[in-house]
Amino acid sequence: MKLPYFLIDAFTDQAFAGNPAAVYVLDRPISDALMQKIAGEMNLSETAFVLQDGNVTRLRWFTPTTEVDLCGHATLASAHALFTAIDQPLSGALTFDSASGALICEQTADGIRLDFPATPPSPMPPDAIICEQLGVADPIYFGRSTFDYLIHLSREDDLLALAPNFSALAGIETRGFIVTAKANAEDLDFVSRFFAPATGVNEDPVTGSAHCCLGPYWAAHLNKPALRAAQRSERGGRLKVEVASGRVLLTGHAVLIGRGELLL
């Protein structure tokens, strides 16, 4: 059996930046166990599997160790593959059926726009253990969304200096930890980093789904529904974020950098 795949850098317009994802466009179902093994073999933060099932286009995402319910960059990569890389590319808009419901992806002049559910955070007292293991002191805000903890720091420089204890954080029951700050750059509103050691990803390069939490938070904090964001990982990436009616619209570019076949 040959399984073709595409290697795509998401939330960037240049190769070897943004967040890489492998996208498998399947012509038949394969088992969950095989998808997980393939994701482990690819060893990227996410591997996406797309399957056309009648009139429904199904999308699933796997880290090297587990399946997740929502992933932004691998959705962007999957849409980019279907819009540009397959033998008969799609055009306009497409809808993925996923564990997080219907996800609409649309080609625009600014890139591919993803229509995702908002996951706003709720405030809670700062957790001393989490703050210690992240290396955070005196956060402006500490809260939790559907998937992750959210911590707002007073300075971007403090965010850049973080060196988390990943082995300790991996033992805390959550998908991940979003750390954010107001951006120093005038062309950005906020920046962030995302750590998810419990799912096998110590630091994710650019995390679209984290912005489903960051978008509502910063829109309320800045009284501004349309935002410009950057993730300050080593690879880095940028995206536009718009909050509207319980949804978050994420817009970014993607670059196809390779393709191949898995031989089984």
Known catalytic residue at 132: no
Amino acid at 4: P
Contacts of 197 (CB under 8 A, 6+ apart): 164, 166, 167, 169, 170
- CA distances to 84, 143, 188, 192, 251 from 181, rounded to whole Å, are 35, 14, 11, 6, 20
> Residue 20: phi, psi to the nearest 5?
-75, 140
- Indicate the SS3 state at residue 201: strand
Looking at 46, 106, 173, 242, which residue is catalytic?
Answer: 46
Sign of the Cα pseudo-torsion (203, 205, 208, 213, in order): positive
Distance CA 146, CA 27 (A): 33
Q: Nearest Cα to 230, choosing from 166, 181, 173?
A: 181
Rg (CA), the chain: 18
Sign of the Cα pseudo-torsion (90, 51, 45, 259, in order): negative
Question: Which residues participate in catalysis according to the annotation?
Answer: 46
